[in-house]
Amino acid sequence: MLVAHSSGPTLSIERKQAAASTPSTMNSRLFNKLDTIHQIEEAHILHLSRQVEVGKQLFPHENISLHSVAGGGVAALTTPHLGQQLNRTLGLGMKGRVTENDLADIEALHTAANLTPCILLCPYADQSVIQAVAMRSYVVEGFLNIYARSLHEIHVDFDSSLDSPAELPFGSNMVVCRAPANDAGMGAFIHASIAGFKDDGRSDEVLRSLAETAALRGDTNLYFGKIDGQIAGCGAMALMETKYGRVAHLYIDSTTPHFRGRGVQQALIRARLIDAKRLGYDFATIHARPGIGTGRNAEKEGFGLAFTKPILTKRSN
């Protein structure tokens, strides 16, 4: 895990082993491979890039853009109301050095868009990034845990004729299935997603935009968790090709308040892993803020903590 120390204008970040998570021996070996680190980071960049592509469809009159930045990264600039989830910089310093001038260029892009720079820094980035962000008065605002797991040990019956798998049962009254690939299915997913995130402080407008973004992505399958026939929760899975291999990314999971505490998210995670394996994917990722149930449920389903990214924002003075 990353530990940040902030004192005056300086910032240093060092790698620490996460006390909250002990990956399996297999995961430990997996995450020690540099190619795996780059695969995870490239998938994160690709995920953000496709969010931006759909954002342009949803908000055609807004100045939504994606910019290449120093060291192999990208900066996504959408609309201020969507916040840091779609306005962030990834991959900074993963392929080379980063200078203060490079950061100044990123800041100029954000100033023109009326946005505050937000950088999610991979701990395996070039160390020049640490000095540059410290000199430019960035501070650690939070962290994002990056979980990953291999799917090699998951065994499923492959059937290329199955466009959509049958419902997967979990216990006596819970099933997980794909949402129908039609307007009704997308509408039900958007409604369920808003209901599941309703109490996290974000507006319905933001929640709708995020759910619509997932629903409109051509690389994403949508899923429902149902209890006694009622939609109890939902989630999505993006299927992405990186130059290091395929990645199934599980995201936008939520459970409606009435059904919480009954294992809905864990069932959604397991079902998507089975579906990913059926579709020919052998690697999966999940992102989660520390301390929430998503990380715990991911670990129960075999994910290990690959690394933690500090979320850096620039101080106003």
Vertex 299, ends 256 and 186: CA angle to 5°? Answer: 35
Residues whose CB is less than 8 angstroms from the CB of residue 217 and which lie 6 or more positions away in sequence, other chains included: 50, 51, 54, 236, 238
The reported pLDDT for the residue numbered 217 is 97
CB 309 within 8 A of CB 93: no
Phi then psi for residue 228, to 5 deg, are: 50, 40
The reported pLDDT for the residue numbered 317 is 60
Going by C-alpha positions, the residue among 58, 61, 57, 122 that lies closest to residue 88 is: 122
Tokens 């991979």 sit on residue: 122
Residue 99 has which token pair?
A: 């200078």
Residues whose CB is less than 8 angstroms from the CB of residue 209 and which lie 6 or more positions away in sequence, other chains included: 55, 58, 82
Q: What is the number of residues in the chain?
A: 317
Domains present along the chain, CATH in parentheses: 2-146+308-314 (no CATH), 153-281 (3.40.630.30)
The low-confidence residues of the chain, meaning pLDDT below 70, are 1-32, 158-165, 317
Amino acid letter, residue 216 = L
The reported pLDDT for the residue numbered 14 is 41
The reported pTM is 0.89
Q: How far apart, in whole angstroms, are the C-alpha atoms of residue 82 and residue 224?
A: 24
Q: How far apart, in whole angstroms, are the C-alpha atoms of residue 174 and residue 37?
A: 35
Q: Find residue 75's DSSP bridge partners.
A: 67, 89
Residues whose CB is less than 8 angstroms from the CB of residue 314 and which lie 6 or more positions away in sequence, other chains included: 107, 116, 117, 136, 137, 138, 139
Q: What is the mean pLDDT of the chain?
A: 89
The reported pLDDT for the residue numbered 308 is 97
Q: How far apart, in whole angstroms, are the C-alpha atoms of residue 285 and residue 32?
A: 16
| Half-sphere exposure in the Cβ direction for 210 (13 Å, CA) | 27
Residues whose CB is less than 8 angstroms from the CB of residue 140 and which lie 6 or more positions away in sequence, other chains included: 4, 6, 11, 13, 310, 311, 312
Going by C-alpha positions, the residue among 10, 72, 81, 2 that lies closest to residue 44 is: 72
The reported pLDDT for the residue numbered 315 is 79
Q: pLDDT digit string (tens) for 113-131? A: 999 999 999 999 999 999 9
CB 204 within 8 A of CB 234: no
The reported pLDDT for the residue numbered 31 is 63
The reported pLDDT for the residue numbered 158 is 58
The reported pLDDT for the residue numbered 159 is 56
Residues whose CB is less than 8 angstroms from the CB of residue 51 and which lie 6 or more positions away in sequence, other chains included: 76, 86, 213, 217
